[in-house]
Amino acid sequence: MSAPVPDRFDFRGAAFGGGDLSGAELRGRRVVFDGVTFAEGTALSFEGADLTDAWISFVGAVFRGDVSFEAAMMRRGLIDFERATFAGGTLRFTGFDLRGGTIRFDRAALDGGAVSFAGTTFGEDGVVTFDGARFAGSEVSFAGADFSAGGVVDLAQAESYEVSARFDPWSARPPGLFLPTVGFADDE
């Protein structure tokens, strides 16, 4: 008989050297990385994970290493990068299936490294917010993202844009994509 899987994993404030949660069934689980620094050269993978009803928190975390949610999926739940600092490394949501749930970058500092939503599918109940975020050096890309099923990406309430997010050119902007009216390079 195997041991029960805990409902909560709390790495708050830990010195984190990386980890592999690829393919994990994290349905309904809470995974907390609040205040963790992901040092240069470290890697954390959620590749192919099922994050339905999960709550993954990186509040106040500092990213210099790589974190991947490549080919993972979420139907409901939250991935929270509130007040996180991106100073290097790469955060990948490449091929992510966001049919429902929220990814928040509220009040995050995007100072370096890269954040990629390339090839992400945004479903009708999928939401990504950047309220109060500062774009100051991170390359943020939505190249090849699929908005055909709906979804919302809201950059309109970001605090500042020294570096703009990149999107594919569209004949018409997806209805759920909200961009600021000033200080933003729109490829339309």
How high is the pLDDT of residue 160? Answer: 84
pLDDT of residue 182: 54
Is residue 17 predicted with pLDDT exceeding 70?
yes
12: CB partners within 8 A, 6+ apart:
32, 33, 34, 35, 36
pLDDT, residue 2, reads: 46
Is residue 186 pLDDT above 70, yes or no?
A: no
- What pLDDT band is residue 100 in, cutting at 50, 70 and 90? very high
CB 96 within 8 A of CB 68: no
For residue 184, is pLDDT > 70?
no
d(CA 14, CA 33): 8
pLDDT at 131: 94
How does pLDDT run across 26-58, given as a tens digit for each residue? 999 999 999 999 988 889 999 999 999 999 999
Per-chain mean pLDDT for the chain: 87
pLDDT of residue 3: 45
Provide the residue count of the chain.
188
Higher pLDDT, 187 or 135: 135
Confidence of residue 181 (pLDDT cuts 50, 70, 90): low
Q: Tell me the pLDDT tens digit for each residue of 108-164.
A: 999 988 899 999 999 989 999 999 999 888 888 888 888 888 899 998 898 888 876
Residues contacting residue 72 through CB under 8 Å, at least 6 positions apart: 46, 47, 48, 49, 50, 51, 93, 96, 97
Confidence of residue 1 (pLDDT cuts 50, 70, 90): very low
Six token digits for residue 173: 């902007």
Reduced to 3 states (helix: H, G, I; strand: E, B; else coil), residue 126 is: strand
Q: Is residue 187 over pLDDT 70?
A: no
Query: What's the pTM value of the predicted model, to 2 decimals?
Result: 0.90
